[in-house]
Amino acid sequence: MTSFKELTVSEAVLKNPGVYVTGIALFCNFIMVFITFIYVPSFLAMYSGLPPEQVSILSFIFYLMGFPSSIAVGIIHAKLKLGSPLAAIGLLLNAVGTIAMLYVKDFTSLLICIICIGWSNLWPSSSCLSIAGTIVPPKFAGTSVGVVSCLGFVGGCVGSFVGGMYMIARYGFPAGWWLICITSLIGLCFAILDIRFERRALAKASTA
Amino acid sequence: MDNVDVTEKSEIPKYRWVILAVSCLGTFSGFLAMNSFASIAPFLIEGGVWSVADLGLWSGITTVFCTLFLMPSGILADKYGRKIITGFGLIIWVIASIIFPISPVLKLLSRALMGIGYAMLWVAPSALLVSWFSRKPSEIPAAIGTLVGFWMLGGAVTMVLPVYLFFLGGGLAGGEFYTFMIMGVIVLVIAIVFWVFGKEKPTSSIGG
């Protein structure tokens, strides 16, 4: 068996399928994150019919939710020893929250949707970054996080340009939300697929 | 000396919590430096100083440069040290914040630099935490989750602080310059704190 110390960057990171599966899960998550970061505040301002002060409160809550939620998901991930299921749950919650947002208009219902989206928005990012750092030997953690994040940020570009600028501008907010929903569900499949790679990496790490 | 000595291989360094704290401070400053323009944008657009197209261009440039520099940042962090790359990213942000309000051409350069700094700050602190927490891998997800949480806390603060600074600095007459100078100073202080308290690895040599 090849020990971790003998591995090269290519063997440890570039030939590791788990890195790419994690990257694709993050790719889908970032499409959604980049659209929601830009469009949740504008959606609330232009589409919800709420007064500006309520829009400000909801936008602030949306951003603020990410703080306790990321810490919470990190702690749960540490207890469960697996991050992929949490990434999958986060992506699913996002899809549900964004679709629900299209069909409600009152402050309380929108608040529930915002909490749901804001709470789950960064679950996949947090889990995928942890997986990227632990799926390879610590010596290659930077490169692995770099590769996974690069795939994620390509998703971010797609989210901003295709989702944000083109689809929402041309077809309106519902098109953007459905794009978020579809990418969340694709990401969910990859997050589920990632469970296998994460388990294998954990088993390998414990025997090394 | 850059590292903390750990005599016993099995010893779990308590200094890891200091590393987590300074890494979180670094990522917290990320949104402050990068997204300040978004929260003061409505006032400057209304005043005819900026346009919506400007905002799209600046966001796009940052995202593209960030995506391009994520992988190189990871490789550089593994090769030259995660502390150095994190510190370098913070210094890039200081420069980018200070040059942003000076001229339209420097605004484009600033946003490109922000992207490069963002890539470094996205990858290097995560990898730094992996090195420090690798003796207790079960804590890695909680540490990275906390790190991601501080990005979002920065995002929430960005919705309030730049607006306050903008009006404190005179609004349309000098508020933009004042806001970005103060942001630059805040990130500079955080960079100094990170450099003083940040250590590369819990061993007597970088190679571990």
* pLDDT tens profile A171-181: 877 777 788 88
The verdict on A187 touching B (C-beta cutoff 8 Å) is no
Q: Is the dihedral of CA B76, A139, B129, A93 positive or negative?
A: positive
Check A122 against B152: CB less than 8 A apart.
Answer: yes
ipTM above 0.90, yes or no: no
pLDDT band at B186 (very low <50, low <70, confident <90, very high): very high
Position B1 scores a pLDDT of 40
Q: What is the DSSP letter of A13?
A: I
Residues in chain A closer than 8 A to B28 (CB atoms): none
Helices (H), chain A: 9, 17-47, 52-80, 84-103, 107-121, 123-134, 141-158, 169-171, 173-207
Residue A143 half-sphere exposure toward CB, CA atoms < 13 A: 19
pTM above 0.95, yes or no: no
User: Domain locations in chain A?
Assistant: 15-200
- Rounded Cα gap, residues B31 and B17, in angstroms: 22
The verdict on a CB contact (< 8 Å) between A125 and B71 is no
Name the residue among B63, B70, B82 with its Cβ closest to that of A160.
B63
Find the mean pLDDT for residues B188-194.
Answer: 94
* Residue-averaged pLDDT of chain B: 84
Q: Cβ contacts of residue B51 below 8 Å, gap of 6+?
A: B45
Given CA atoms B194, B195, B196, B198 in this order, what sign does their dihedral have?
Answer: positive
A chain contacts of residue B152, beta-carbon cutoff 8 Å: 63-67, 69-70, 122
The domain A15-200: what is its CATH number? Answer: 1.20.1250.20
Q: Give the model's confidence band at B22: pLDDT under 50 very low, under 70 low, under 90 confident, else very high.
A: very high
- Number of other residues whose CB lies within 10 A of the CB of residue B100: 27
Q: Is B42 on the interface with A (CB under 8 A)?
A: no
* Nearest Cβ partner for A126 among B59, B119, B148: B148
In chain B, the domains with their CATH numbers are 16-197 (1.20.1250.20)
Average pLDDT over residues B115-133: 90
Task: Report chain A's C-alpha Rg in angstroms.
Answer: 18
> Which of A65, A78, A139 is closest, CB to CB, to B142?
A78
Instruction: Identify which of B47, B6, B23 has the alpha carbon closest to the alpha carbon of residue B191.
Output: B23
pLDDT mean across residues, chain A: 80
CA angle A27, A33, A38 (to 5 degrees): 135
Residues within 8 A of B (CB atoms), A 88-117 only: none
**How do residues A31-82 score in pLDDT, each as one tens digit?**
878 777 766 776 777 677 777 777 778 877 887 888 888 888 888 888 887 7
